[in-house]
Structure 1
Amino acid sequence: MEYSIRYIKRNKLSSIFLAAISFLSAILLSLVCGIFYNIWIDRVYRKSLMDENSTGSIEPLVVAYVFILIVICLSLTVMIHNAFEVSMNSRLHQLGILQSAGATPNQIRTFLLQETLILCIAPIAAGVLSGIGLCYGFMQLIIFVTASVRKYEVVFRYHAVIMAAALLLSIATVLISAWLPARRISRLTPLDAIHYGGEPPVESMKPYRVFSFLFGIYGELSIKSIHSRKRVFRTSTLSLTLSALAFISFLNLEAISGISTKHTYFERYRDKWDMMLSVPDMDEEENLLREIKNLDGVESCILYKKITASTSLLPNMLSEELLKLSIDNLSDSIKAEGDGRYSFDVPIYVLDNESYKDYCSSKGLSAKDSTAVNIIWDSFHSDRLNRMYIPLLKEGMPLTLQLRNEAMPDRGDMPVTVSAFTTTLPAIKEELIDYSLSLIIPQDFYVNLAESFPYTESFYNIKLVSKSYDAAVQNDIKILLQEKNSYTLDSKLTEEIFDSSVRRAHRFLMGAFAGLLSCIGIANVFSSTLGQIYQRRKEFTRYLSVGLSPKGMKKILAMETLIVALRPIVFSLVINIPIVAAALNTASIPVKEFIAAAPIIPILIFTIFILLSVSLAYYLGGLKICNADIGDILKDETMI
């Protein structure tokens, strides 16, 4: 005990960073345990709302949690044990002397583990408590973000058993991480320990010609020094690379998702709706329509229903442009029938009579029965971003379609005459379904189809005079429907705010996770740098003995700093090139638009954080290395 305490006091910096790694691992485990407990409680509560007899048995979630926890524990063990190994390796010469004086392997392992407990038990306890605080903050953020879409109250919960579990897991993880190198070191013979002195021989060294050409002799010495100590830097390299890769990949994909959502949702429907009210089948829907139109702040309101049908079209009913294409290979949704016909899906939009008249009037049409949106995407000659459309039906004469309800085949086909053609849907929150024939019909005509094509919901597409009326109109509509138990009211303004809040929360959480993971790597860099002062002094003494100046030593350390800090960032950026390219291609987003919205500032801040942290570690280590007395080092009989 006295020996361990004395060693910790004499090696404060390396001890601090070993404690820091233990603190960070405890935070992560405590955070994961707390989040799972709150998810589990929330699931139990929601099940109890739906089923009063619910027992809270959610085995799949428990199994998934145990699996995730095991993976985290194993990852932390692999990542932090190397930090302990670096610290213990730096004492091989001293441990060899102890063994030669009679210390047994069991005694060596015991005092190394005892030293770990003395050093890490307080940081682990502090990490568990800090993890509880982070869990509370995380849950409060989730509660705030989901408040607008949740219909029940969520509160933060914690239990003493969860804290005990996190504490035991953290202690076990740290002890196992320390036991692995302690076990290996205790098996070394006294002669091997004294001979190596913590400086393993380099068996091979690959050439770095490109690096030498670009950065000269100092760059070559730096990269070869890091290569010779690659095992020491394994944990820091892994954690820094994983954190950078996860953080940069997430930011890039989140930026692409934001651009896609903006184009395909908010901008596409910007002038078509401000609120969308969906109400189950009701008898007085026309009265509700009039009441909504009369609300202060409402510019217009369209009542519509959606029903789905299908029809068979003969080749002579199709446009010449479509017949020139290979219809059979255009889409799986277009099915060829045995008699030469083609089966198409037919989404039907039933507008209230007044809205249908306004729609036809705006298109210069005088249709009474139905209007066909007569276009189809020519995917052979255009992509999703730059679509080209061609006519689906042959125009110039009225066509009668035989509509059928696939869900109710016993009702038979219903004839519908298409008396007009157009190329756009009404100004409602709907978009054309690819490879289908959309029909627009008035409420009066729908009466003829109601028996064969029933509907379950009515939709009220509401446009406001301005966004400033959003809250007031939402409140007025809720008053109108206060006796209606089931309805859904969506606000575009609320959705935009919610989407922005969710994306900020995701970026914050991902940044926190990446920062936590990178801190493990940074702590390992400190531990590796400060724990190898003895070996690095001998390395730089050799450089001094062949004429290297102190200024050159500083250049080597600066080069090492840049390599250790920037290599994970550069690697992650290179890996992200194909990832981003594939995502942009899938979302049909031009590269220029992504570059304009690329998360450059967050990535730059993360890079500066890594660079400054690694620079501090090398600065502290460099002070001890460069200020060493060359005479004392040359007298050291262990120098190889």
Structure 2
Amino acid sequence: MWRIVMWEGDRGRIFRPAASAAFLSALFLSLLCGLFYNVWKYDVERIVREEGSFHGKISGKFGDKELEWIQNFGGVSKTRVGEGTGETTLVELWFYPPGRVYEDLPKLAERLEIGQEKVTFHSSLLSRYLVPDPKNPSSVREMAILLLVPLLACISLILIIHHAFAVSMSGKVRQLGILSGIGAIRSQILGWLWLEAGAVCLKPVAAGFGLGMVACWGIMRGLDAYLRGLFPERQPLNFGYHPLVFAFSMGLILVTIAISAWLPARKLSRMTPLEAMRQRTDEKWKGRRKKSGGIFLEQFFGVEGKLAARGIDAEGRAFRTGSISLFVSFFLFAMVMNGAAMSDLSVRMTYFEKYQDSWDVMAQVREAGLEDFQKEEELREISGVTDVCIYQKAQAVTMVKGEEISEALLSAGGMGYATDREAQPVDGGWMVRAPLIILDDKSFRSYCEQIGVVGNLRGAVVLNRIQDLSKGNFRSRPLIPYLKGEEDKTVLTEAGSREKSVEIPVAAWTHTPPALREEYGTADHYELVHFLSASLWREIEEEIGGAEDNLWIRLLLSERDSAETMERVSNEMEQILGDSYEIQVENRIQDQMEHERAMDGLKAILGGFCGLLGLMGIANVWANAMGFVQSRRRELAQYLSIGMAPGQMWKIFSLEVLVLAVRPLALGILLSALGTMILLKVGALDFHDFRSVMPAGTIFAFGSVLLAAVVLAYFWGAAKLMKGGVAEALRDDG
């Protein structure tokens, strides 16, 4: 019966904008949710592959009884015994739900009488499940921000459907009033509206979701091929679409359609049948106050400006979501492009330019130490190599006494800026980290000659400098002496238990580190770096330990700007070391080229996402343009009936589109400029340096495309509106 009551011939005309909006929203929502789910899935798979899937680890001396007790501990869903060291057993644990790990694992360690230093949380994986680390609540910040973006986009898409239904349903209030007048009750009207909305929108929604999933699959395949060309060894990007993602996005669309169809019935319940039957489109202007924009248009463009302001005010709600989407997409695109340019500039300044004289070819040799490395002379004989440095890293701590602190550091605030992690207060001073850089004997002698010290293999060279934290920013802080440098001995303590210590001679206190691609005093401002020879390390290694399992090799070449020479040396290095060790070789020029390709890929991915947001805004504008004829046909008829020429009508439409299209872009330009200045301030970058890499042309092109699309959509609707005559426009909607 409802097909007869709701007039089959009228349904398509009234609901066409809503059906189009439902199709576009379903398409973009399916695509957006699919893309973000696959990005999240890829990140989780990467962490699992590189680090494991466990939620926490615990190590100790466990027998079968303890292992069984751990397995049965509350909250533990799975355990796996891994490889430990000596008599120590390493147990990997999974919890359900994962959020219990931060509460239950410390309790488990306490029951087993094991110190908290033997407990490890898999924070990187847990943060992907939005499980925050109690000691570092910001660990889930990146994931929360990542989820916030699609959430805002989903809200925008839902508003597109809602506003399209609002435009479509507004034309049915009078019709519903007639039905109410002949005895239809509210529940019947609501049922008719739901059935009609479902009949009109279910097929477009299903088609949109299917097309969105296909588009997501195509984008993921293309992205995987693109990244595989940049990074052949990276993990493949496999497409997936979880049923819960489908259920969430589809449910969101259907609930929005149901609520949007319910609103006219709710509105009708507040009106008498006579009021509903007398409903006219010109009532939407009643009670509206004149805004400043309307005053401006009236002052400069006369009657056409006043009518344009009236139209903008009346249709502003319908186009508001599109305007917001256009603003958000342009603002995010500008910020992403500027942010990527700033990131690229920062990396160039703090990495490539800073270390360009410190290395040409680097190799990381896994599971190796200086004591058993036998390929040093073969590396030095490679043609074109001018210097070879082989080094290993270790961790220790040392004590800084109050009387040892330099006058310059005392004037800059002393240890007052140090956190407890950087400098732990103890009796008579502070315990600070003492990173050890262990050089091969030949490189250590060469380094000592460089700083003017007689090479004593049994002495340590201490890097005696620290940033003046009271001045400037991290890019421009001056370096000042850390300690007075009067001591001829230094005490190194085991970094873990701090039970063992060793005293060694100090060969020199210096401000000049060796030419290595290493950072000192940045992550930890108060660390006191020691450079040791391999001979000295062999004497003290048993006492303090803490050496990393990897070995590093740095080569300097005679032809420092030749990519061919660096590639040849890298290949020869792999031939020398590849048969005996597991290595990873990189060269400076290739590293910079890969960085540039990665930045281009990042810009393409993020720019594509911003373009997707722009398409959402354009889709909203087009959806509203489809309802343009229905919502303003009587308004046009009124203007034409009083003798207004078509040229004047086009002037009105031109002023409207100028305001509706340019306003969000102008606001986006203003706020993106402000945001860029804030980022420059936070990143301590100079605007003159940034100006040389600012992507103004790309941003302008993106804004021009958005502007052209909006103008085309608006004038398409206006042209369709102008085709009708006065008699047709004034004909009763019912």
What TM-score, normalized by structure 1, do the two folds share? Answer: 0.82
Amino acid corresponding to residue 195 of structure 1 in structure 2: R
Matched, 1:184 2:235: no
For residue 461 of structure 1, report the CA deviation from its aligned partner.
1.5
Q: Using a 3 Å threshold, how does the CA distance of structure 1 residues 81 and 353 change in structure 2: closer, same or farther?
A: same
Distance 1:525 1:76, change over 3 A: closer
- CA, structure 1 residues 349+630, in 2 after alignment: closer, same or farther (shift >3 Å)? same
3-state SS in 2 of match to 1:441:
strand
- In structure 2, how many angstroms separate the alpha carbons of the residues matched to 1:322 and 1:166? 56
Segments of 5+ residues of structure 1 without an aligned counterpart are none
Partner secondary structure for residue 414 of structure 1: strand
1:584-623 paired onto structure 2 within 5 Å:
584-623=680-719
Which residue among 271, 275, 286 is the counterpart of 2:357? 271
Conserved? CA contact 1:295–1:476, under 8 Å: yes
How many residue pairs get aligned? The number is 632
Task: Choose 47-56 or 35-44, whichever is displaced more.
Answer: 47-56
Which residue, out of 28, 39, 45, partners 1:24? 28
Task: Identify the match of residue 342 of structure 2 among 256, 272, 279.
Answer: 256
Query: For residues 486-527 of structure 1, what are the alpha-carbon distances to aligned partners after superposition, in whole Å with 9 as ceiling and x for unaligned?
Result: 554444445434433433333333333333333333222223
Letter matched to residue 237 of structure 1 = S
Alpha-carbon contact 1:277-1:461 (below 8 Å) kept: no
SS at match of 2:504: strand
The 5 Å alignment of 1:182-581 reads 182-187=261-266, 188=268, 190-199=273-282, 200-208=284-292, 211-212=296-297, 216-217=301-302, 221-273=307-359, 274-282=361-369, 285-296=372-383, 298-313=385-400, 317-332=404-419, 333-334=422-423, 338-339=427-428, 341=429, 343-368=431-456, 369-394=459-484, 399-419=488-508, 421-433=509-521, 434-454=525-545, 455-456=547-548, 457-464=550-557, 465=559, 466-482=562-578, 486-540=582-636, 550-581=646-677
8 Å Cα contact 1:300-1:462 kept in structure 2: yes
Q: Deviations over 1:595-614 (max 9, x none)?
A: 33233233223212221121
| Cα separation, 2, equivalents of 1:316 and 1:166 | 62
Alignment map for 1:3-14 (pairs within 5 Å)? 6-7=9-10, 14=17
Mapped partners of 1:389, 1:167: distance in 2: 56
1:203 is paired with a residue whose SS is coil
Contact 2:424 2:430 in 1 (8 A): yes
2:102 corresponding residue in structure 1: none
Once the two structures are superposed, residues 369-419 of structure 1 have per-residue CA deviations (whole angstroms, 9 ceiling, x without a partner) of 333333322222333222222233446x67333333343533234132243
Cα separation, 2, equivalents of 1:80 and 1:123: 11
After superposition, give the CA deviation of every residue in 1:607-638 in whole Å (9 maximum; x if it has no partner). 122211211121122224445545665x6679
Change (3 A) 1:495 1:80: farther
Distance 1:337 1:41 in 2: 43
Tell me how far apart the structure 2 counterparts of residues 45 and 404 of structure 1 sit (CA, whole Å): 35
Cα distance change of structure 1 residues 416 and 568 upon mapping to structure 2, 3 Å threshold: farther
The code of the aligned residue for 2:476 comes to N
After superposition, the Cα gap between the structure-2 partners of 1:139 and 1:58, relative to the gap in structure 1 and judged at 3 Å, is farther
Contact 2:618 2:706 in 1 (8 A): yes
- 8 Å CA contact 1:5, 1:115 repeated in 2: no
Please state whether the residue corresponding to 1:306 is helix, strand or coil. strand
Tell whether the 8 Å contact from 1:279 to 1:487 is kept in structure 2 after alignment.
yes
Deviation at 1:116, TM superposition (A): 4.8
Q: CA, structure 1 residues 70+541, in 2 after alignment: closer, same or farther (shift >3 Å)?
A: closer
Q: What does the per-residue CA deviation read over 1:13-63, in whole Å, with 9 as the maximum and x for residues that have no partner?
A: 747733434433343345556666777777888899999999999976997
TM-score normalised by structure 2 residue count: 0.73
Distance across 2 between alignment mates of 1:316 and 1:168: 67
Which secondary structure state, in structure 1, belongs to the residue aligned with residue 470 of structure 2? coil
Letter in 1 for 2:274: L
Looking at structure 1, the residues matched to 581 and 566 of structure 2 have their Cα atoms a distance apart, in angstroms, of 22
Amino acid at match of 2:494: N
1:145–1:498 Cα contact (<8 Å) kept: no
Counterpart in the other structure of 2:169: 88
Matched position secondary structure for 1:272: coil
Distance in 1, Cα, partners of 2:218 & 2:733: 53
- Contact kept, 8 Å, 2:174 with 2:276, in 1: the verdict is yes
Within-5 A mapping of 1:126-165: 127-142=209-224, 144-145=226-227, 154=236, 156=238, 162=243
- Whole-angstrom CA distance in 2 between matches of 1:630 and 1:114: 30
| Contact 2:327–2:665 (Cα < 8 Å) also in 1 | yes
Q: Which moved more, 1:609-618 or 1:65-74?
A: 65-74
Q: Secondary structure at the match of 2:540?
A: coil
Aligned partners of 2:314, 2:11: CA distance in 1, in Å? 28
Q: How has the CA–CA distance of structure 1 residues 413 and 38 changed in structure 2, closer, same or farther, with 3 Å as cutoff?
A: closer
Give, in whole Å, the separation in 2 of the partners of 1:153 and 1:436.
36
* 1:232 partner amino acid: A
Q: Is the 8 A contact 2:181 2:273 kept in 1?
A: yes
CA RMSD of aligned residues (A): 4.3
Higher relative contact order (CA 8 A, sep 6+): 1
Give, in angstroms, the shift of residue 543 of structure 1. 5.4
The 8 Å contact of residues 423 and 431 in structure 2, kept in 1 or not, is answered as yes
Instruction: Assess if the C-alpha contact under 8 Å between 1:109 and 1:182 holds in 2.
Output: no
Q: Which amino acid aligns with 2:164?
A: A
Equivalents in 2 of 1:71, 1:268: separation in Å?
40
CA displacement 1:307-366 (0-9 Å, x = unmatched): 334444556644433343321324333566554x55554333222222223223334443
The separation in 2 between residues aligned to 1:37 and 1:310, in whole angstroms, is 40
Residue 167 and residue 157 in structure 1: after superposition, are their counterparts in 2 closer, same or farther (change >3 A)? closer
Distance 1:290 1:552, change over 3 A: farther
Q: Cα 1:131–1:223, aligned 2, differ >3 Å: closer, same or farther?
A: farther
> Please, which runs of 5 or more residues in structure 2 have no aligned partner?
55-78, 82-91, 99-125, 131-142
